[in-house]
Structure 1
Amino acid sequence: MEFVTLRVDLIEGKVLLRRERLEGVYGLLDYGLNVHNFFKTYEKEPYSPYNAVVFGKGPFAGSILPGSHRLVFFFKSPLYRTLFPSTMGGAAYTFQRTGVDFVSIIGKAETPSVLVIYGDETSVVVSVEPLKKSLSELWKDGVYSFSDYLVGKFLDRVPGELRIACVGPASLNTNYGAIFSQTLRNGKPVEGSEDWAARGGGGSVLLRAHNIAAIVFGGVYKEEKRLISNYDHTKKLFSGIFSEPLFKVIAKKTEKYRYNPKHGTGGTFGEDYYAEREKTPILNWQMPYIPREDRERLFNLIKEKYVEIFNKESIDKNTWTTCGEPCPAACKKVRNGLKVDYEPYNANGPLAGNIYLKAADRAVRTVDSLGFDAIEFGCIASWVFELIEREILTPEEVGISGKPLLSPQTLINEPEKASEVNADLLCQLAKNVAYAKGEFPKLLGEGKRKAASYIDENFKERIPEGRSSLDYAVFVALGKEGEICPTMYWALGNFIPLPVQGKYWTYYKFGVFPEPESLAEKIVESSISEYWYDNVGWCRFHRRWMTAGEVSCELDGECSLSRGLAKPVLERLFEVVYGEGVNLLRHGKDFLKRLCDYALKSGSYPIFPPSERVIDLIAGASYEFGNKRWEENFRKNKAKAVRDYISKTLETYSLLIGHEGWKL
């Protein structure tokens, strides 16, 4: 396929614009992997100036199809220590105005700078401009004040549409800094439309490897209309795929994210809590040790003091918006000017001992403003809170003013009081870590494994014999240094060491305990689907109509089954729009294989979980989810059975993708 690529080379001090015909490249991840292999970044540290941040839009941006405008970032993660994709909703709707498909940044600016890219009818205008004010001054209200400053500075300079992506102090001092962006309308931020390329630490790479603190993009360029940019042509195309009108199908398939009348709620926040119930990750993932009846009491409190407040203040008022592109899902649920999504609110809420929404607002707002990956920070904070509760650490050593209230009974008896205390302490910890205030908060910025080494060495007498402070932490580990917090679901696939974790490139269904061979099959299937959504910059909330599957109808008289879904929608789109025959399964497996190769060259290989908490989450799931055979195996020898389970899963995974080396 043919793409317009832009290389911003801060080593040579030049930019290079090309129109390239690239074989086997169908999206940004394909291109980004080639870039990283070219620069051999597997041999380099994550903060090397050669660790290219590759970002851009998918090949269907500019169409009328909703969800096709995610901005994709790809880089070597300083946290997981291998290549990592991170995406930002709606931002490619503005980025397409640059007239560029993919941008890659190498080298490092002398001082913190802004990369500006915009398109006009005849050219792409690029500049790298040093900030005239210090970052500490610009970060007065974190990413929000920084973004406002940049809007004021560039609004009149960039013709047409404009959008800002920027980082906060967490990117300067931690390995899990995020990239923030918000839709602008008439130069003003649209409440609730903010989105993040957060997972994996892309903001940290952007700032610390390249000294780029923000990217300003937009312009007036308008690509020549393709077939799927025309409503009538698009309608005709999909009439051969679906038996109902396209946008009616889309509305049905995105119901969860808009509004589900069965539950009286919507969005990830409302729907996920009603689905997970007592399996919701709480209190630093202590679910295997908390009796189910207590978890049910905690869920009832979450329902009352978390979800019902959300429903009254957002769902009932219909304060919904999108990420910045026209989309019927309207997945952004807004209350009091704040976007409310499940994972950030769970990681900095129930996981950290906070089940009162008003308190969680304060916690999430603080973590977001500092520019953290909110999921990663919540996972760190909940671990630290438990270490304090167990008297392995003291509040003074962490730099917070008191002890968290992490007991299930305390939270059940005094839910609002305990939540307020824990939210305040989380905010204190977030500021300490973001600004590296103190020796231990600075170590926390490097992740749990580095911090645990310090704790084990300096406070050995406080830790039960034969254990490590890391035994209370939850993360997926690769090699000697790689780590990432899993997504907020008690799901077996979330704890398997894969080339991409912490996102949905796994089988993340909770409440089930499949055999390892079956789990591996489901992981491969999910990984390939998720790879394609990220590769082409498509929102995964649209997966239910984008993914081909079985077609069914009730056998009540005559049943008509459309043949259109015999081929994945994405394959049809590549054929119709570009004349490209793409085998999604074959190409996806090949990409996973190449990703494994890169990770192994980087020293990021699968290892047995170095945390007893992760082992217990796997073992406890056998009882909780009802697999008697594995429950008996875990009862006899827990560690051996977990090793057997992960080993068999990875052996099948390697066999399925055709890679012999991705094993324990």
Structure 2
Amino acid sequence: GALCSAPVKDGTLSWVDTWAGRGGFGSKLFREHGIAAIIYGGTYIDEDFRDRKVADEWFIDKYSKKLAAKDLEATTKYRFDPQFNTGGTFGVNFATIGGRLLAFNYRSIYMTEEQRVAIHQKLIVDHYLKQFNEETIATKSMKTCGEPCTAVCKKMRDIYKKDYEPYQAMGPLCGVFDQRAAEMLVHKADMYGFDAISVGGVLSWLLECLDRKLLTPKEVCVDHLPVFSHASFSAETDSKHNAEIASQLLDGIIHKKGILDFTEGARKFARKLAREKSKDIIDCFVYNANARKGWIVPNQYWVPGVLSPMPIMGKYYMYYGYDFLPPRELGRKNAHRMIKELMIDNAGFCRFHRLWAEDMIPEIINSLYGMHKEFLTNLDMTASRINSRNVAIYWESTRNIDFVKAYLKRLHEVEKVNDKELLHWISQFEQNPQEAAYNYWFEIAKGVHESLREF
């Protein structure tokens, strides 16, 4: 389930879809209230703030640039970045990810840096990204969400909109490195109403279970085993093969085929299989746990921020930079990011403009309403109240622990970071991974809670 917005042109609904659907709240609407969909549209003329001269004055005072010039600068990544000769989240993220690649249900974290870089070059740069650049960037197939925006962030090929995270979670994470295969899979998941990132994490997990013989094709009603190793991987043939199996799994989840009963969610399904078959099944499923039944697959970045004990996960209410932060400091940074993202959300701004919006929104509020302090105070209060309901659960899968441990080791061994606290945590994870993970997780939690106190 999701919220979906798409521009209408000349009475026709376009394929430039924009989704807010992490967490599957639409399914709950249908299951508990019998509401399958709410459709609305039309034109409403409102007296809005339209004096560009006033806005330009704000930006000139702050940045010595007019609004349009600053916005062009701030949205370079989402439009076209000449540094990488590509654009959009798909283009720039895949161009720059290198050895931080997440593939084959996160099993890439166990590979050497050389292996990950080789996969990135052969399967992504030379094929997956190359297709995107030729078909979308070179043809300038770019749209906006419907607003007159300089970012033109909607990168299209025919009916398919290309964003990094859906095409990562149902791309490399699922052993899919080809645009045709990924388009088929992402489109089908969208058609079924799945959260593309979470279902990608579920599919990649099930594919690994099949590859490791933890589950059989018969149990999950698929025809074949996946090709789930980078050795001799064929970008087109093997991607198509894996995408077809994943597509069958989507059908199986929807129609409850075989053992695929996700009525209570993937987390409870995984726990049930762990009890009945093998703990190895849940230990290769990467997810954030919340309260008794809640779960969500993390955002697709190899950083500990995406596995943090925050009250809301799946959005960017956390810090996802690649640099090392001690866990308690990471918790504080997460809290800071939550407040900033709340501000953008509540002001109705797209976060792709955050490089100036975070600075300017309080000043704009003050200029228009004279309520700068009240606005910021209420943001802090709202974040504190949301966090008072924080029921994040410690990592239930050992793959989560390995994810963080491997991230820390890579920082030291590949990025050559020699921070004393980084070395301390690497040592702790080497000596006793479970104990170190507990301490690391709770240190993040301390930073979060001490930062989101109202008093």
Structures share fold, TM-score greater than 0.5:
yes
Unaligned runs of 5+ in 1: 1-176, 549-568, 600-604
Report runs of 4+ in structure 1 exceeding 4 Å deviation.
none
Contact 2:297 2:314 in 1 (8 A): yes
Residues 1:493 and 2:311 aligned together: no
Q: CA deviation at 1:296?
A: 1.0
In the alignment, does 2:325 pair up with 1:514?
Answer: yes
1:308 maps to 2:114: no
Trace 1:3-22 onto structure 2 (pairs within 5 A). Answer: none
Deviations 1:223-267 (A, max 9, x none): 223xx3222333234332330111011001100000001110000
Which residue is equivalent to 2:117? 296
CA distance in 1, matches of 2:290, 2:39: 34
Find the counterpart in structure 2 of residue 545 from structure 1.
356
Contact in 1 for aligned 2:380/2:454 (Cα 8 Å): no
- Cα distance in structure 2, aligned partners of 1:607 and 1:283: 25
The equivalent position to 1:390 in structure 2, one of 192, 196, 212, is: 212
Residue 370 of structure 2 is matched in structure 1 by 579
Structure 1 letter corresponding to 2:36? A
CA contact (8 A) 2:171 2:177 kept: yes
What percent of counterpart residues are identical? 33
Deviation at 1:481, TM superposition (A): 1.7
**Does structure 2 conserve the Cα–Cα contact (< 8 Å) formed by 1:506 and 1:524?**
yes
Q: In the alignment, what sits opposite 1:182?
A: 6
Aligned positions, number: 445
Counterpart position of 2:252: 432
Verify the 8 A CA contact 1:404 1:422 in the aligned structure 2.
yes
User: SS in structure 1 opposite 2:295?
Assistant: strand
Q: Kindly tell me: are residues 419 and 219 of structure 1, through their superposed partners in 2, closer, same or farther at Cα, counting changes over 3 Å?
A: closer
Given the two structures, how large is their TM-score scaled by the length of structure 2? 0.93
State the partner residue of 1:531: 342
Question: In 2, distance between residues paired with 1:206 and 1:375?
Answer: 20
Inter-partner Cα distance in structure 2 for 1:217 and 1:657: 37
**Quick check: 1:238 aligned with 2:65?**
no
Instruction: Give the direction of change, closer, same or farther, for the CA distance of 1:507–1:396 in structure 2 (3 Å limit).
Output: same
Bigger-Rg structure (1/2): 1
CA-CA distance at 1:218 after TM superposition: 3.4
- Alignment correspondent of 2:177: 355
Instruction: Pick closer, same or farther for the CA change 1:196–1:426 going to 2, 3 Å.
Output: same
Amino acid at match of 2:338: S
Q: What amino acid is the match of 1:487?
A: N
* Alpha-carbon distance change, 292 to 583 in structure 1, aligned in 2, over 3 angstroms: farther
Does structure 2 conserve the Cα–Cα contact (< 8 Å) formed by 1:179 and 1:202? no
SS at match of 2:259: helix
Q: CA deviation at 1:272?
A: 0.7
Deviation at 1:410, TM superposition (A): 4.3
Shift of 1:651: 1.1
Distance 2:260 2:296 in 1: 18
Which of 71, 78, 87 is 1:257 aligned to?
78
Shift of 1:473: 0.5
Shift of 1:509: 1.3
Distance 2:171 2:434 in 1: 30
Q: Distance in 2 between matches of 1:585 and 1:619?
A: 37
2:225 to 382, 390, 403: 403
1:452, 1:468 within 8 Å by CA — same for their partners in 2? no
Q: Please say if residues 170 and 185 of structure 2, whose CA atoms lie closer than 8 Å, have aligned partners that are also in contact.
A: yes
2:74–2:353 Cα contact (<8 Å) kept: yes
Equivalent residue in structure 1 for 2:271, among 431, 440, 453 = 453
Aligned-partner Cα distance in 1 for 2:342–2:259:
36
State the match for 1:90 in structure 2: none
Q: Give the drift of 1:408.
A: 2.4
Query: For residue 292 of structure 1, what is the amino acid of its counterpart?
Result: E
CA contact (8 A) 2:286 2:297 kept: yes
Give the RMSD, CA atoms, in angstroms.
1.8
Partner of 2:17: 194
Aligned residue runs from structure 1 range 466-505, under 5 A: 467-505=279-317
Cα deviation digits, residues 544-578 of structure 1 (max 9, x gap): 11122xxxxxxxxxxxxxxxxxxxx1112212233
Task: Specify which structure has the higher proportion of strand.
Answer: 1
Secondary structure class of the residue paired with 1:326? coil
Q: Deviations over 1:111-136 (max 9, x none)?
A: xxxxxxxxxxxxxxxxxxxxxxxxxx
What secondary structure is seen at the aligned counterpart in 2 of 1:530?
helix
Question: Which position in structure 2 is the counterpart of 1:209?
Answer: 32
- The superposition leaves residues 491-534 of structure 1 with CA deviations (integer Å, 9 ceiling, x where unpaired) of 11111121011111001113x33112221221111111111122
